[in-house]
Amino acid sequence: MKAIKRNGYKKHNPIKQPMVQSPISGNIVQRDTVAAIHESTEVTEKIVSEIIQYETRLPKALAKAMRAVFTRQQLAECSFKGGITTKGLPRLGLPVAERDTIIDVISRHFEVDKPVVEQKMRSALHRFYLMFK
């Protein structure tokens, strides 16, 4: 994995994406095309829908969806949105597109507001962190 240095700490780039030289901030990851992002979101949405199809409990469905979409390393090392944690160490956030897709699908499936799902997802991520560390 290639490390990108930003704000005095190293940030890992787990996805192999082309780098673009910026005169101000150095190397930045080039954004994917809108079509590729939309396609990956549809695939993620289909995976999550199939996994939680018969699940009746929100926390269990959330845990299943997170295990299906994110890697074990992401669940163990990433924070929900990224940034400084309570211990003061900066951690990467979960990928935004996948995180938002899980929240959307589960909120529609269980007919719950998105902030409720976000809160439960944060709790599930904390449990994964304790389980995998």
pLDDT tens digits along 3-25: 555 444 444 444 444 444 444 44
pLDDT at 37: 55
- Is residue 76 predicted with pLDDT exceeding 50? yes
Placement of tokens 């992401």 in the chain: 74
Average pLDDT over residues 42-70: 91
Q: What is the pTM of this model?
A: 0.69
pLDDT at 77: 87
- Is residue 123 predicted with pLDDT exceeding 60? yes
pLDDT at 35: 54
> Can you tell me the distance from the alpha carbon of 89 to that of 123, in angstroms, rounded to the nearest whole number?
19
Give CATH for domain 32-132: 1.10.10.2590
DSSP class of residue 84 equals E
pLDDT at 132: 86
User: Which residue pairs, CB below 8 angstroms and at least 24 apart, start in 42-49?
Assistant: 44/69, 44/97, 44/98, 44/101, 44/102, 45/101, 45/104, 45/105, 48/101, 48/102, 48/105, 48/106, 49/105, 49/109
What pairs with residue 16 in β-bridges?
none
- Is residue 66 predicted with pLDDT exceeding 60? yes
pLDDT at 36: 59
